[in-house]
Structures are given as C-alpha cells and as structure tokens.
Amino acid sequence: MNYLKALFRIFRPERPVQDGLTVKYMFPLVLGVFAVLSASVVSTDKSYIRLEPSQTAVMEGERFSIDIYASAHVPVNAIDITIDFSPDKVEVVSVDKAQSVLTVWTQEPIVEGSTITLGGGTFRRGFVGEHLIATIKAQAKVSGNTEFFVREAQLLAGDGRGTPVAVSGTGSASKQSFYIYDQDEDPSAISANLGVNITADIDGDGKVTLRDISAFMVAWNSKTLTHDFNSDGKMNFVDFSIILAKSFFGA
C-alpha cells in the first residue's frame, strides 16, 4: 500500500501547490485513487443481461436500435433471452445477429406479439465477460413513454453438464425506457419526460449504491465503457452529478 500513501500525500492540505501541480491535474489523480480503492467494490462474480439503446428520445416514425449484451462471470456456451416491448408504441423491424458472440443459433430470433425471443450458443467452453448478443432494429410508432425489458434470461455454463449460471435480478440495466415524441412537441416537454426515465443503476440491482458509483468512476478512468445517463452522447460531469444524486435520493 506504499503507492497509495504516496498518492494520498499529494492531496495533504499542508502540501503547497507547486509548479506543475495545478487544479487541472488533480481530478485525474483523484479518479485514479478512487479507482484503485474501489476496484474491490466492483462486482466480478455475477452474470447479467444489459440493454443499450442508440437513443432514448425518438421522434414518431424514426428508427433506432437497442444492443443486447450478456456478461458472464464464468464460461457460458448457451444463452436464451426473452424481451418484452409494447407493439402499440414500437414496431420491431428486425433482429441483427451478424456481430453476435453466439456462433450457433437454435433458431432465428422470433418477434411475436409483444415478445422477442432469441437463443444460441458458442463452441468449446464459451465466453466470459460482456459480449454483444444481438441488435434490435425498431421504429417508433406513437408518441408517449414505452420500454423494452428482459423478462427471462437463461445462461448455461460450458462445463459439459449444462449447469445453470445465475443471472442478476432484472434491474434498470436490463430495462430501457424511451420517450416517443411528435415533430411539433415542445422541447421542454421532451426533456421533462426524459428526466423521469433517467437511471444510474449500473449493476441492475434496483438501486444506486457505492457499487454503481465505483463502476462509473472505473469506466471513466479506463474509458472502457460509457455510462451516458442523460443520452447527450458523452460521459461527463453531468452524468457524474446524476449518479451522485441518484445514490442519495434513490434510483
């Protein structure tokens, strides 16, 4: 822990500000320290399904997409997912599996009524970590709030026995809310409706805790993931403010 002591000495109140040590260098260093301290808080022993939309505000008639990701903490070689949506608000045009980590499909993805089902597997032991499963291509139909959410998910271990792998409970990571607006709608009304749907529950456990803040800080520092809570196309202090507020007031 000597390296931590050295870093903390940089921030001692009695330490004078020297030549190159200005405010603009302090924040990256704080991020680094926080990332090191919180690495043990970020969970690596759970599997989950995550939905990532191209946008959360969509105009009537506009097309958008939703990436379906699966993360496995042990090798998984078979997966089955059921996703529900509102067909009165959204039309699912297709399900693209061209870039999927799955190489063998039990059947083509099926869109029937208000449900999307897809399932398949990989050769050998399977995959570990987060990977793209498929991309939903959809088109907005009628203005209002709507959502896509993972109703069921089954992951099987590539251990030769088909052992079920526990999937974390359906939280906000496995549910995405959208606001569909018409071209004449007041922008302030759109912002208000989007604000209702902002969530910062990164690990999908139904609440925003230190674990989510830790994951946010690590992602920001490493630039491996982008947690863009307000859908402005970037990860910045606005998103940082949102997750801090959500942790205090609740997700």
The answer for residues whose C-beta is within 8 angstroms of residue 212's C-beta and 6 or more apart is 200, 201, 202, 203, 243, 247
For the chain, what percentages of helix, strand and coil (3-state, to nearest 5) are there? 25, 35, 35
Crossing angle (nearest 10°) for helices 23-38 and 210-222: 120
Nearest partner of 171 among 189, 149, 190, judged by Cα: 149
Contact 95, 119 (CB under 8 A): no
Tens of pLDDT along the chain (251 residues)? 444 444 444 444 444 444 444 444 444 444 454 444 444 333 456 888 989 898 888 899 999 999 999 999 999 999 999 999 999 999 999 999 999 999 999 989 999 999 999 999 998 789 999 999 999 999 999 988 899 999 999 999 998 888 999 987 554 567 888 888 887 776 556 656 655 556 677 777 777 888 888 888 888 887 766 777 766 667 777 778 777 877 766 55
pLDDT for 3: 42
Q: Is the domain 48-185 a CATH 2.60.40.680 member?
A: yes
| CA nearest neighbour of 245 among 206, 199, 184 | 199
Task: Express each pLDDT in 186-220 by its tens digit.
Answer: 655 665 665 555 667 777 777 788 888 888 888 88
How confident is the model at residue 181, as a pLDDT? 87
Q: What is the per-residue pLDDT for 7?
A: 40
Q: Give CA–CA dist 153/175, Å, rounded.
A: 13
User: What integer pLDDT is reported at residue 138 of this predicted model?
Assistant: 97
Q: Would you state the structure tokens that stand for residue 110, as one six-digit string?
A: 């099926």
What single letter denotes the amino acid at residue 111?
V
Q: Which residue has the tokens 């994951």?
A: 215
